[in-house]
Amino acid sequence: MSNVGAFEELCQDYVGWWLDGILEKTDAVDCAQRHAELWGVVDEIGQDEVQAIMSLAFSPAEGLQSDYASRLVMQWELADPRDRWRWTGELPPMQQVPATEKAPYRTLCFGME
């Protein structure tokens, strides 16, 4: 097997580690890039082809919807102390009870009725 074929398989391994949560995507891509450089794949086929191989490996499968919106909502809710409990398992914050309206001011007159 050539280094290019081995590199393609290695990219799939890094994709698996990323999907399993072992590596962040940026770390997985950086490691794959480093292997391409160490194995001479960049010299053999060029950086553009290396990027194309990695792009294909890390691209979402056909028909899968992007989870960008749900991740964005999760980040917003984690940043808001009122909503953080939805993701962390902590108890929801106590609801603020609105203050009751004060009775209008009036003078008291004793003995006059």
pLDDT per residue over 34-93, tens digit each? 999 999 999 999 999 999 999 999 887 766 666 778 888 889 999 998 899 888 888 888
pTM above 0.95, yes or no: no
CB 86 within 8 A of CB 73: no
The C-alpha atoms of residue 111 and residue 113 are separated, in whole angstroms, by: 6
Domain parsing of the chain, residue ranges = 1-86
Task: Tell me 22's DSSP state.
Answer: S
